């Protein structure tokens, strides 16, 4: 069967990840730890056949992808369809601030209401559909090859759910660690999971994991 191997990577750490501040479509750079993580994940992929690297256009993902491109020599292409979920008026706030200032909104968000849309943002259904459409379109161009996709926590969460056929409202029990290596296989029947949350290349520091990035 026609298949494309996908290495999916969440961007390196940012200061807002540390502060649990919602980034969404806001363009926050990597911090020093994130830059180190990007270098480490790039080194971990040396020697692997990579036909192309696709990255969200937000700089935290793009800088991570640039490190992989420099180290592996694979061509880098920007793909806005791999952006994080837009959180609208949640962006720039911490989790605690959202719960204090917008308790009703926070409750619907925490319950993973699939159709709840933060003001100016995207619902989980909209995000899932965007990611599934984008990844399918990219994978179809590389049947028989391996590609790297560098994106965000919300994007990686969708990929895991699609690959394991888990409902969009199911509680998350898997990690979305910064700069972890996650492997999937795409065929015309959809995604399947090969390996998840490999952080051996980051063992020198504590791996950070939050719900969103």
Q: What is the DSSP string of 45-65?
A: TTTS--SEEEE-SSHHHHHHH
User: Sheet holding 4-10: strands in order across?
Assistant: 76-78, 52-55, 146-151, 4-10, 181-187, 190-198
12 assigned binding-site residue: yes
CA 31 from centroid of its chain's CA atoms: 17
Q: Indicate whether 211 pLDDT > 60.
A: no
Domains located in the chain, CATH noted: 4-200 (3.40.50.1240)
Q: What pLDDT, in 10s, does the model give residues 82-115?
A: 999 999 999 999 999 999 999 999 999 999 999 9
Give helix then strand counts, H and E, for the chain: 7, 6
83 assigned binding-site residue: no
Residue 192 CB partners (closer than 8 Å, separation 6+): 163, 184, 185
For the annotated catalytic residues, the residue numbers are 11, 84
15 assigned binding-site residue: yes
Predicted confidence band of residue 205 (pLDDT cuts 50, 70, 90): low
User: In terms of Cα–Cα distance, which of 159, 140, 139, 162 is closest to 151?
Assistant: 159
201 assigned binding-site residue: no
* Average pLDDT of the residues of the chain: 95
pLDDT attached to residue 98: 94
Q: What percent of the chain has pLDDT over 70?
A: 95
* pTM, rounded to two decimals: 0.94
């Amino acid at each position: 069967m026609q298949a494309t191997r996908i290495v999916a990577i969440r961007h390196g750490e940012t200061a807002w990840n540390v502060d649990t501040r919602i980034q969404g479509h806001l363009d926050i750079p990597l911090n020093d730890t994130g830059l180190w993580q990007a270098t480490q994940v790039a080194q971990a992929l040396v020697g692997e056949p990579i036909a192309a690297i696709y990255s969200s256009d937000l700089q935290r993902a793009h800088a991570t992808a640039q490190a992989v491109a420099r180290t592996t020599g694979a061509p880098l292409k920007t793909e806005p369809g791999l952006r994080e979920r837009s959180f609208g008026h949640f962006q720039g706030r911490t989790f605690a601030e959202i719960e204090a200032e917008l308790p009703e909104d926070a409750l619907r968000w925490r319950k993973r209401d699939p159709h709840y849309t933060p003001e100016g943002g995207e619902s989980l259904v909209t995000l899932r559909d965007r990611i599934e459409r984008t990844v399918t379109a990219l994978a179809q161009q590389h049947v028989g090859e391996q590609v790297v996709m560098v994106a965000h926590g919300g994007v990686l969460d969708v990929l895991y759910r699609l690959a394991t056929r888990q409902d969009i409202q199911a509680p998350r029990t898997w990690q979305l660690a910064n700069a972890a290596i996650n492997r999937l296989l795409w065929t015309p029947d959809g995604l399947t999971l090969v390996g998840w949350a490999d952080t051996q290349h980051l063992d020198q520091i504590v791996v950070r994991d939050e719900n969103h990035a």
